[in-house]
Structure 1
Amino acid sequence: MDEIFLIGRILIAYLVIGSAVGHLTQTTVMAGYAESRGVPAARRAVQVSGVGFLLGGLSILLGVWGDIGALVLAILLGCTALVMHAFWKETDEPNKMMEMVQFNKDLALAGGALVIFSILSSDFAPYTITGALITW
């Protein structure tokens, strides 16, 4: 089971680190989209979320305070779902469906991050470099 948990951590880290790279290398394009969604200080928000995704993903991947990294990701992904993918505001059906898919993806990833948080903050934390900062 330890190896399966490690594979899951690698897969979620792959996705969020890839997203972080996009945020940090395509900031202008992403800031334009964020601005169109009403995000204030969009460029800064894209950069900060990119750093959050990078640090959270590396934290989970390497097992360095992975509980905190997972919690950061859960919060970031929940906020992203609500702010960036508010499908209920869309009037165009294809856009509404696309935003609903993105909203659901972000919520599912936030849920996965919460599961990882729960596991890494318990006594079961295989293949990690540090222990948890938050324990139950």
Structure 2
Amino acid sequence: MDVLVLIGRILFALLFLTSGFGHIAQRKAMAEYAKFKGVPFPDLAVPASGVLLLAGALSVLLGVWADLGALLLIVFLVPTAFLMHAFWKETDPQAKQGEMVHFNKDLALAGAALMLFAFFAHTGGDLGLTLTGPLFSF
């Protein structure tokens, strides 16, 4: 069980690690795109969201307060779905479909992160192969 959870954490975190690195390494281009999408303060929002992604992903991956890391990813995913993938604003059917796919993907990933948060907060240190226990418990 512990190994399966670790593999799941690795697979889950990879997406956010690569995205977070992209937010930092390509911040100028990404800030331009965020500005086009109407994100407030894109020059600040892009690197800040990159740090948020990296912190959340590393936390989940390494099992260092993984419950907090899952919450950090939710804090990124939900606003991103609405700000960056507002499919209801698109008039072109192809663009609308693409944005709807990304919107739904972000919400599904937020749901998965919410489940990770609950698993870690509920089971405590019983998931094993983590460096620390959870920050929250219920």
Give the alignment's TM-score, normalised by structure 1: 0.96
Is 1:70 aligned to residue 70 of structure 2?
Answer: yes
1:125–1:131 CA contact under 8 A, matched in 2: no
1:24 — aligned with what?
Answer: 24
When the two structures are aligned, how many residues end up with a matched partner? 136
Deviation at 1:125, TM superposition (A): 2.5
Counterpart residue type for residue 131 of structure 1: G
Distance 2:127 2:12 in 1: 16
2:5–2:127 CA contact under 8 A, matched in 1: no
1:33 — aligned with what?
Answer: 33
Is 1:114 aligned to residue 114 of structure 2?
Answer: yes
The one of 119, 124, 127 equivalent to 1:125 is 127
Counterpart residue type for residue 129 of structure 1: L
1:61 — aligned with what?
Answer: 61
Distance 2:94 2:33 in 1: 17
Unaligned runs of 5+ in 2: none
1:135 — aligned with what?
Answer: 137
Deviation at 1:14, TM superposition (A): 0.5
Distance 2:6 2:116 in 1: 10
Distance 2:110 2:47 in 1: 20
Secondary structure, aligned partner of 2:128: coil
Unaligned runs of 5+ in 1: none
Distance 1:114 1:43 in 2: 28
Per-residue CA distance 1:16-56 (angstroms, 9 max, x = gap): 00000110001011111110111111011001100000000
